[in-house]
Every structure is written in C-alpha cells, then in structure tokens.
Amino acid sequence: MDFGLSDEERAIRDTARDFIAKEVMPLEQELLRRERAHQPGLERSELRELQLKARKFGFWGLATPQEYGGMDLPAVVQSLIWTEIGRSYVPFRFGGEADNILFHATEEQKREFLLPTIEGERSSCFAITEPGAGSDAANIRLSARRDGDDWILNGEKTFITGGNDADFAIVIAVTDPERGARQGGATAFLVDRAMGWRSEFIPTMGEGGPASLIFDDVRVPHRNILGEVGQGFTLGMEWIGKGRYTIPSHAVGIAERALRMAIEQANTRETFGAKIGTNQAIQWMIADSETEMEAARWLILRAAWTVDQGLDPRHASSMAKLYGAGMVNRVVDRVLQIHGGMGYTRELPIERWYRQVRLYRIFEGTDEMQRLIIARDLLRGYTKLGGHLA
Ligand SMILES: Cc1cc2nc3c(=O)[nH]c(=O)nc-3n(C[C@H](O)[C@H](O)[C@H](O)COP(=O)(O)OP(=O)(O)OC[C@H]3O[C@@H](n4cnc5c(N)ncnc54)[C@H](O)[C@@H]3O)c2cc1C
C-alpha cells in the first residue's frame, strides 16, 4: 500500500502552493479590510487578473480537457489543489474552468457558452433549487412549455451561487409535468440573462450571497437545450457530483490553516503564568482537530481516486462530503475557542471561516442527504461494507 504522492503530483501541488502563498495570500489583509467596510473582498476583475497570472504558471482549467486548453488533471490532483486554495481565505479559484455539464453542449452551444466561459469572458450559474424544492430536487416546478421553436419558462430558482453576476444560467426546468423529474420530465436549458430573467440578491451569513432567479415568460429557443429533452435531472445530479469531493478538499485547506493558527496561539498566549498549550483542554482540541483532518483527507482522496478509477464515486463522495464538512466546522469552532475573545473579533479571519464553513453542511447536498445516500446504498445492497478493499 502506498499513501505517497508521485513526483509529478507533488510538483503540481507544490507549484499551486507557491502561487497561493506568493500571489493570493498577500491580498488577505485588504480583503478583511474591505469586507469589514461591507465591500466585496475581491472584485471580479481582480480575480481574473490573478487567474491570468496563474495561467502563466501553467494553471488553467484544472478539470478542462486538453483540447480546450485545460490541464485535465486527475481528480486526486484536483483535490490536492483545492486543498491548497482552501489555505487562503481570499475567494480565489483557478481560471479556465466551466461547469462540468457544459461539455455536453452541441458544437454551436460550445462556441456560444462553453468556450467563452473557459476563457473567463462569460460567467455561468447552475440553477436547480427552488423555494419548494431543495433536498427534494425532483420536486422542482419551474416550467418550460413548448411554443413553436421556443420554450417559455416560468417560475423561480433560489439560492443560486453566482446568480447575481452570471451572464447565463443553466436552468433545470420541468418539460413534462406528467412524468417526474427523475423519470425524464425535466430538461436543462442555457438561458442568457438577456432573454429576460432577473436576479435578486439574498443576504446570508457568508460574504457575498446567492440569488433568486425569476423567470416570467422567458422565451428560450429550442437550440438552447443542453443535452437531450428529459435529461435535465441526470445532468443536474452530474453537476452536483463534482462538488462532493472538491468542497471537502477545500475544507481540509481551511482546517489546516486554522489549526496552524491555533497551534501558534497555544504556544504563545500565556494565562496563569504558563502557555495555554500546556493545558490538556487545549491539547485535546488540537489533537482531535488533527485526527479528524487526517481522516477527512483520506476519505476525500479515496473518493477522488474512485473517480479516477472510473468507478461509481457516489458512496465514497457522500462520505467525504459529510465528514469533511462536519470536520471543518468542528475544527474552526475549536480554533476560535483557543483564540478566546480575539477569535470572535473581525481582526482575525476565524469568525469569517466560522460563518463560511457552516454552508458546507448545507449546499450541494445537506449532511442529512449524504447520510441518506450512504445508508440507502448499504440497505439496498448497492455497496458492500469494507469499502473498495472488501
Ligand atoms: C449559499 C448557498 C448557495 C447555494 N448554491 C446553489 C446553486 O448554485 N445552485 C442550486 O441549484 N442550489 C444552490 N443552493 C441550494 C442548496 O443546494 C439547498 O439549500 C440544499 O440542497 C438544501 O435544500 P433546502 O435549503 O431547500 O432545504 P430543505 O430541503 O428544505 O431541508 C431542510 C432541512 O431538512 C432536512 N431534510 C430534508 N429532507 C430530509 C429527509 N428526507 N430526511 C432527513 N432530513 C431531511 C435537510 O437536510 C435540512 O436540514 C445553495 C444554497 C446556499 C445556502
């Protein structure tokens, strides 16, 4: 058994680490200053500038196939890079990416949507959640009614990341109300903002915020269907599947950085004439955090490895998402506790992480939905106990 990285994997990981340390982390204090003043921490133009700089280092399109100019990295390497990204609280991500399901586009759609998205000239959002359908995504109601060569969309999507800025939305709509969404009753549409949908900002406990998207008789040409009519739910689940290992990978980066701060604090802050790190109460918080982080790391890498092996990653990814999201919440909470009152202030990034990572237990499948998937797989015999070594 080999838990090591190949030379190539290590080299890519280390280059990403250097880039984050040299180009992204120096922006952190300014980010906190702006957010304290209720301004966006990082402007879209600044993100783009960073992404173009990273492109010169060869980092462009981690998941994007080489024929589109991307790196097409294995999931394991992508996971390692997302962990590096997580080490900085600047909301950076490498450029050259597009939603995984956009690669199902026709040649014409690729020219109109996929290629400009990869180049960063257009931005997308993905919309399945509705006010009445979140975990139960098959219960969506936003309707698409055929009208000659067009479809007319009516309804509302909610909590859509990037929905305030997106130039176009990938919208999962009901095209055949008689059939359930799961049974071929839903279809994915590529809908330009110019076609008439509007967005409304939703304030949340995190920085920035998602949006509601409102569709009021929005006319969309038939050629804007992504994939096949009736394939919308399957595409939606494919989109969500990617986040199940990248989200917890990011969480490991956050947890590592935060824990490093806690160790520093434990080794310097004195109470009652001794460093607080000499207290068992503090040591146990550090020990539990390190242990849980390590457990999360291997669950996530195993999930990513499962993707690379071409095996069904759902079970492994659900465990990685469930555990990684819980882990980062527990670690950040302990790190805040170890910092005492300072941890609660906006001088430090800890309270920011505390607010940010709470989302990780909710979006792209709540904790409860991950548990439901894991248990159902076992109860129905789809997965054997013992993982891939069984
Ligand atoms: C900041 C943010 C960004 C988001 N970005 C996007 C996006 O880009 N695109 C998009 O489409 N969606 C997005 N979402 C939506 C997100 O995926 C949903 O919020 C999530 O799936 C939960 O759905 P819900 O909020 O409707 O909660 P509900 O489904 O109403 O669930 C409420 C609670 O009940 C629990 N629950 C529900 N059913 C069961 C059950 N059968 N058994 C046990 N417990 C159950 C849930 O786990 C949860 O704890 C985002 C959400 C947020 C907050």
Query: Which CATH number belongs to the domain containing residue 83 in this structure?
Result: 1.10.540.10
**Rounded percentage of the chain residues whose pLDDT exceeds 70:** 100
Q: Is 264 helix (H, G, I), strand (E, B) or coil?
A: helix
366 lines ligand 1 (CB under 6 A): yes
Q: Which of the two residues, 186 and 2, has the higher pLDDT score?
A: 186
Q: Would the pLDDT of 369 be above 90? A: yes
Residue 389 lies in a domain: no
CATH code of residue 174: 2.40.110.10
> 254 with 357: CB under 8 angstroms?
yes
Q: Which atom of ligand 1 is nearest to the CA of 133?
A: 26
Average pLDDT over the chain, rounded to whole? 96
Are 37 and 63 found together in one domain? yes
Q: Give the pLDDT confidence of 42-62 residue by residue, as tens digits.
A: 999 999 999 999 999 899 999
Burial class (CB in 10 A: 0-12, 13-18, 19+), 56: exposed
Q: Give the pLDDT confidence of 50-99 residue by residue, as tens digits.
A: 999 999 989 999 999 999 999 999 999 999 999 999 999 999 999 999 99
Structural element, H or E, at residue 28: helix 28-36
In terms of Cα–Cα distance, which of 257, 251, 248, 247 is closest to 350? 257
Alpha carbon of 2 to ligand 1 centroid (Å): 37
pLDDT at 388: 79
Whether 364 sits among the annotated catalytic residues: the reply is: yes
Look at the chain and count its residues: 390
Q: Which atom of ligand 1 is nearest to the CA of 163?
A: 8
Residue whose CA is at the smallest distance from ligand 1 atom 6: 160
pLDDT at 157: 98
pLDDT at 386: 85
> pTM for the complete prediction?
0.96
- Domain final residue pick, 203, 229, 255: 229
Q: 61 lies in which domain range?
A: 7-100
Are 14 and 71 found together in one domain? yes
126 lines ligand 1 (CB under 6 A): yes
Confidence of residue 222 (pLDDT cuts 50, 70, 90): very high
368 lines ligand 1 (CB under 6 A): yes
Q: Ligand 1 test: best mutation among 129, 156, 168, most atoms within 8 Å of CB?
A: 129
Q: What is the total count of domains within the chain?
A: 3
Catalytic residue among 35, 84, 97, 364: 364
